[in-house]
Structure 1
């Protein structure tokens, strides 16, 4: 494994350990989703944004340039977070570090799962992963970074 990949994995792990909620409900989903829409709109990013708690979609927005394909990617990325309890980017980078890809070797169908950046677990202290926030439409590192930026902003609010 390259030193660069090791550093990236450590950075993503640190983000997941740091960006933890004390609570998360529908109001929080709306606020985080709206924050993401504001960030993406201000930069004219062609993304779809999705927040789900289990099977319930709490927030969804498709901005100019986003397509139905982005929604399909969201579904596949969310499955990764729900299955592995880690961000889709972290799962993908860990697999790459081990010389593996997401597929039968790890017990999943790659047509249904995508270990590409953009889906981030919503962790609540004492409860674990309770929801998933996803962005799709940019290169995977940028999808991931946009979610992290929004979470850092939201969680820094008093």
Structure 2
């Protein structure tokens, strides 16, 4: 079954990410395994037009990777770079990398109005992502879909970050959202 297109409204995205429907009851190494395997199975079930080799990575906020795998042959080293940059974005701003992209696009008139390079440039400028010595701090962050915050009921802040890299960015985001919702629902009340 194909993935549904994610919202492009940053307020809707952030409300969704912080809702009970997407907040885990607990999050352990076993939960990470369950989520990671569910993501892999969902990615492998995508129709031909959406399915591509992808890298799945789940890490705690302290940087410890608790699950990582490629879905199938064809991922490249660049997928790991995207994982790192998406993870950093979620850690720094506490929202999904897709929500950050939509926030930047909204400030430029919306997704259909702003060009992709304009959205990226606005992100770099707004958050001063150029170091004082002229280095490219922007290389440490990106606002492409696929990085997603893991929240646990009763715990302040983020507990972990889930990242998918390999599909179109909106599909990277959509598959994580869909799978997180399913795994949270399976945890019950």
Regarding TM over 0.5, the answer is yes
Picking from 84, 93, 96, the partner of 2:93 is 84
Larger fraction in strand: 1
Structure 1 residue 57 corresponds to structure 2 residue 62: no
Which structure has more relative contact order (CA 8 Å, sep 6+)? It is: 2
- Superposed structure 1 runs of 4+ greater than 6 Å apart: none
Q: Give the number of aligned pairs.
A: 153
Larger relative helix fraction: 1
1:81-109 Cα shifts (integer Å, max 9, x gaps)? 00000001101110121235321431332
Give the equivalent residue in structure 2 for 1:105: 126
Cα 1:107/1:124, change in 2 over 3 Å: farther
Match of 1:68 in 2: 77
Mean Cα deviation higher: 139-148 or 60-69: 60-69
TM-score by length of 2: 0.75
**2:52 is the counterpart of 1:45:** yes
Rounded Cα–Cα distance in structure 1 between residues aligned with 2:174 and 2:181:
10
Change (3 A) 1:46 1:7: closer
Instruction: Tell whether the 8 Å contact from 1:81 to 1:119 is kept in structure 2 after alignment.
Output: yes
Let me know the Cα RMSD of the aligned residues: 1.6
Aligned counterpart, 1:124: 152
Partner of 1:3: none
- Superposition deviation, residue 21 in structure 1: 1.0
TM-score scaled by length of structure 1: 0.89
Query: Residue 71 of structure 1 aligns to a residue in which SS?
Result: helix
Structure with higher Rg: it is 2
